[in-house]
Structure 1
C-alpha cells in the first residue's frame, strides 16, 4: 500500500511541478515550450471528432490543464514500479521519454508541433521540463518511502 500511495502522490507532484514551470516560464520567455497549446488543439480536435462542441477561452485552458495534470500524474506514477534503489534513474528516464515524445509524436498524431519545436531552446526546455517532472515525482516517492 505504501508503494502505491507514494507512487500516486509522487506522480501528482511531478505533474503539478511540470505545469507550474510551463505556466510560469511562458509568461516571461517567448521561446518557452507551449505544451498547453498542443493540449488545447488535441482536446478541440478530439471533441470535434466525436461531434461535440469543445470549450473555448478560459474553459478550454482549464479543461486542458486538468487533463494534462491527470494524464501526467498517471504517467509519472509508473516511476514507482520497481525497486526504490532506482527511483531517480527511472524518474529521469521517464521524464526524458515524455519530453522526446512531446517533440516527436505531435506531428504523427495530427497536431502542430510548432509550440514545442520552434527553436532549439524550445526543444531543449521541453525535454528538460518533463525530465524535471520525472525527477520531482521520483524524489517525492523516495522521501515518502523512507518515512
Structure 2
C-alpha cells in the first residue's frame, strides 16, 4: 500500500506543478515556460532516433503528458524513507528539481531562456517545483493518515 500512496502523492505534486505552470503563463510574460523546454527536449529526442517530431497541439499534449508522468515518478520518491522527514524531503526534492531546471537546462543542450529570462522567472521556476514537492509530501502524509483533516485544511487555506 505504501507504493500506491507514494505514487498518488507524486501525481498530486506533478499535477499541482503543471497547473501552476499552465495557469500562470497566461497572465505574466515573465512566467517560466517549462513547456517550451519540454517541447524542445521531446523534439530533439524524437529526431535523434530518425523520426519526425510532432508539432503544434500534438507536441504540446505529448510534452505535457511526459512532464506529468516524469514529475510524478520523481516526486513519488519523496515517500521513501523515514516518515518524520517527509516534509523536509518534499522541500529538498522540489528545490533540487527547480534548481536543476534553472541551472542544467543549458548544459543539457536546451535553450534555457524559458526558465532563466529574468530573476523573477528563475525564482518562480524554483518556487513552483518546491510547491510540487510540498504538495507531494502533504498528500502522502494525508494518505498515510499522518495528518488530520483539520490540519490539512489549515495548511491549504491561504
Q: Aligned-pair RMSD on alpha carbons?
A: 0.7
Structure 1 length normalisation: TM-score? 0.98
Tell me which residue corresponds to 1:72: 71
Tell me which residue corresponds to 1:42: 41
Shift of 1:140: 0.3
The size of the alignment, in residue pairs, is: 146
Shift of 1:21: 0.4
Using the alignment, how far apart are the partners of 1:133 and 1:6 within structure 2?
A: 16
Listed as ranges, the matches of 1:39-118 within 5 Å are 39-118=38-117
Shift of 1:146: 1.0
Q: Secondary structure of 2:53's match? A: coil
Using the alignment, how far apart are the partners of 1:109 and 1:52 within structure 2?
A: 21
Listed as ranges, the matches of 1:2-13 within 5 Å are 3-13=2-12
Using the alignment, how far apart are the partners of 1:24 and 1:48 within structure 2?
A: 29
Using the alignment, how far apart are the partners of 1:105 and 1:97 within structure 2?
A: 11
Q: Secondary structure of 2:29's match? A: coil
* Structure 1 unmatched runs, 5+: none
Q: Secondary structure of 1:112's match? A: coil
Q: Secondary structure of 2:110's match? A: coil
* Structure 2 unmatched runs, 5+: 147-158
Q: For CA contacts below 8 A with separation 6 or more, give which structure has more relative contact order.
A: 1
Shift of 1:104: 1.0
Tell me which residue corresponds to 2:151: none
Q: Secondary structure of 1:7's match? A: helix
Shift of 1:84: 1.2
Using the alignment, how far apart are the partners of 2:110 and 2:81 within structure 1?
A: 33
